[in-house]
Amino acid sequence: MTKQEWKNKAVVTKFILLGFGNDHELDSLLFLVFLAIYIVTITGNIVIIVLMAANRHLHTRMYFFLGNLACSEICYSSNILTRMLLSSLGGDRSISVNGCFTQCYFFGCLAAAECYLLAVMSYDRYLAAYKPLHYPSHMNSKLCLQLGVASWISGFLSNSMQTFLISKLDFCGPNEIEHFFCDSFPMIKLSCSDTHMVGLVTSVVAGVCSPSPFLWTFSSYLYIIVTIMRILSATGRKKAFSTCSTHLIVVILFTSSILTVYVLPHHNTQISPNKVVSGFFTILTLLVNPLIYNLINKEVKEAL
């Protein structure tokens, strides 16, 4: 049935999230897996925030940004995983249209904010490595606060136009979203309106929010690596790189996944590969991030 034929039928009031299939036994297993991931993710990030607040040795610029990153990941994982847990537990995969728009909006905002926070953290590491003598004066408390606030505001503003345009689309059926949460591209594909403009805006937003911070991060780390290689002592080079390695791992995991799903070309007829990669960066990277910072970072381990 064509979109025009659907448009003459009815207006969609709710969507069905198809998730990972209709196997009830699989739903039970997925519930346990998602619950374990959610508990570890929330606990790990809360531990980071508590350590930042309680340990005076962690009252530094880098850990201020790390605390912001932990807050964003708590909100990010709660936005996605709580809905997945309810669907896996109760078997009800329906979600209202407004609820779907809301989840899509906060998902995009938090993902963009995390991209900006990671870029700001790389700039902080660049100043610490490249201009260590001027670092305290350049990266002062006022600038830290301004960069943190700017990252959050930029993240929420960058996704506002996209979500507004999606909310103005007509959805006449079918109403089954081939995904485990309300994401922009799967929703756009279900619309019976002209989606050229909103698809273009979605690609532009993804292209600005992900590659730009990534290029900023990449440039910062080029300067960092060059600076580290100039250090004569092998022990000094190792110590300098250890302060940046955890952040670099997180950046690579998060940004490469977003680029694969939203920026690189994909076929409209098949979303399953994107769904798998999307699951990697929305679920697994959020699980890995606090573990990386807790298990690899020496200062965090000492604080623990």
State which residues form the domain around 204. 96-303
Q: What is the pLDDT along the chain (304 residues), one digit of tens a residue?
A: 455 554 445 578 889 888 776 666 777 888 888 888 889 889 888 988 888 888 888 788 888 888 898 898 899 889 988 888 888 777 778 889 889 999 989 988 888 888 888 888 888 888 887 777 888 888 888 899 999 999 999 888 888 888 888 888 888 878 888 888 888 878 888 888 888 888 777 777 766 666 677 788 778 878 877 777 777 677 766 666 666 666 677 777 776 666 666 655 544 434 454 566 566 666 777 777 777 666 656 777 777 7
Q: Are 118 and 247 in contact (CB under 8 A)?
A: yes
Beta bridge pairs of residue 176: 16
Is 267 among the domain residues? yes
Separation CA 101–CA 114 (nearest Å)? 20
Distance of CA 297 to the CA centre of its chain: 21
* Tokens representing residue 9 in the block: 């039928």
Q: What was the pLDDT predicted at 6?
A: 47
Q: What was the pLDDT predicted at 152?
A: 93
Is 4 among the domain residues? no
Is 24 among the domain residues? no
Is 167 among the domain residues? yes
Separation CA 46–CA 157 (nearest Å)? 26
Adjacency order of strands within the sheet including 14-17: 94-96, 14-17, 176-177
Q: Are 245 and 296 in contact (CB under 8 A)?
A: yes
Is 59 among the domain residues? no
Our count of domains for the chain comes to: 1
Is 28 among the domain residues? no
User: Could you tell me the CATH number of the domain that includes residue 137?
Assistant: 1.20.1070.10
Q: What was the pLDDT predicted at 128?
A: 80
Is 237 among the domain residues? yes
Is 297 among the domain residues? yes
* Tokens representing residue 119 in the block: 């870029």
pTM of the entire predicted model: 0.81
